[in-house]
Structure formats: C-alpha cells, structure tokens
Amino acid sequence: MTMKVTVLGPWGAFPKAGEATAGYLLETGGGKRYLIDCGSGVLSALQRIIPLHALDGAFVSHRHYDHTADLGCLQYGCLIESDLALRQGNLPIYFAGESEAEIAYKSMKGSVIYPVGAGRKLKLDDLTVTFFKTYHGVYCLGMAFEAGGRKLVYTADTTFDERLIPHCADADVLIAETSFYADMEASEYGHMNAAEVATLAKEAGARKLVLTHLPHFGELPKLAEEAAAGFEGEIVLATCGLDISLG
C-alpha cells in the first residue's frame, strides 16, 4: 500500500445524525497518519480507527465550519495527551491562509498551526503534498498527495474552473466535492454539481472519482448516475467509513 484514505465524514454544511461533515484519514505506506479537514463529528469518527496521539499531522482546506468545527477540540485533545505524555511532540496543522492573521486558530501546547498558501509543496517522509487554489467564497486550497508513484487529489470546496484540471491531472483517485445535482446551479454557492465534477474528472484523466461534500436533499445515488453520463471511469459515492486504497 502506498496510501489509504478513509472517509470520516462525507457531508456538506452539517452532519447527518450520527455522522460527520468533511474529514478524511490518510495513511501512508510508511506508517504515517494525517487528517484532511476536521469538520463536525470528525474527531469521534477518527477515534473509532486510531487514538488522537497516533495522528502525525493535519491539513485544513479553509475556515468554513463544516471543515473546521472539531479543530479546536482536536487541539484540546493534543494538549491533554501531551500533559499525559501520550503525545510526543506537537501536532503540525497546515491551515489554508497566506498569513497567521487570516487564521482564527492559534498554536497551543500539543499543536502548531502553520499557514500554507497556493503553490506550496511539502515533503513529509514518503508523502509529498502540493496545495492549489480553488474557487470558493473564502480562501480555500485543494491538495494533491503523492507517494510511491500514486496520486490522490482532494478538491476541497470549489466551483468548476478549468484551472483546476492541471492540479487534478492523472489522479489515481479524485475526491471531489459534489454539492448539487446536474440540473442545479452550483456556482452561486461556491460549489460544483455532478455534471461539472464529471467534466473535471474526465478532462483531468482521473482513474477513480469519489463524490463527497454531499447534499442533504434528493436521492444521492442520482449524483453518481449523473456523473457517469460524463465520466467513464469508476465512480464511488462517499460514505462514512469508506476505505480507498492506492497501490
């Protein structure tokens, strides 16, 4: 295994009862574990898989609550586990923002907030992370993760824009926000619909498409049906606990 990602929360805006908004656990072949976004309910879901002190880092795409609601609690957890000598060293939290002044969360014992901007590339052991600008109502970054010749891309929140295509190019797995059905206007809300997501996946040459940041209305399987009309690769509807292995 070069990478495995587990969906902790697939919902946009607010969590379905007993579930969570945006959150994903990324595990590398080198044994490192990273949290991607930290929405409402994510910490509870994460601890069904690993204890908090087993986490090696976190990435936050933007400041909206459905992506950050549990972040303060994660920091409290790191503080307590540091005092109990369960956590060795501070948890690095890479937060989308061009300066510390743009980020409401601050470093505390057990965790350190690092602002990251578009174009930044991080090398973390066997994992390379590249951040790219998306097109949302606030400053927001998508992320491309590469390890062992495999590529995972997370769009975070965004409207459709052709400038996203190069960043998603040749993704083995593309996790793409799909907040609306194909016949609905998504851009005015800063999101994509199922037809736009299919276009992005097709033009980028993605091999597997995972639909996430799901709406709380309509029949969700229809999103996959609509995406299949424009993308011939494998399509998966994100669900809590879904595991996706790369290599």
**Residue 21: what pLDDT?**
99
DSSP label at residue 14: S
Q: What is the pLDDT of residues 109-129, one digit of tens each?
A: 999 999 999 999 999 999 999
Q: What is the pLDDT of residue 99?
A: 80
- Amino acid letter for position 198: A
Residues 191 and 179: their CA atoms lie apart, in Å, by 6
Mean pLDDT by 10 residues, the chain (247 residues): 96 98 98 98 98 98 98 98 97 92 93 97 97 97 98 98 98 98 98 99 98 98 98 98 96
Confidence at residue 23, expressed as pLDDT on a 0 to 100 scale: 99
Q: What is the pLDDT of residue 41?
A: 98
Predicted TM-score (pTM) of this structure: 0.98
Number of alpha carbons in the 13 Å side-chain half-sphere of residue 17 = 0
Q: For residues 24 and 91, give the distance between their C-alpha atoms in angstroms, rounded to a whole number.
A: 16
User: Tokens 């495995």 identify what position?
Assistant: 4
Task: Please return the burial class of 198, using the count of CB atoms within 10 Å of its CB with bins 0-12, 13-18 and 19+.
Answer: buried
Cα angle 2, 194, 214; round to 5: 70
Query: In the prediction, which pLDDT does 247 show?
Result: 86
User: pLDDT tens for residues 23-74?
Assistant: 999 999 999 999 999 999 999 999 999 999 999 999 999 999 999 999 999 9
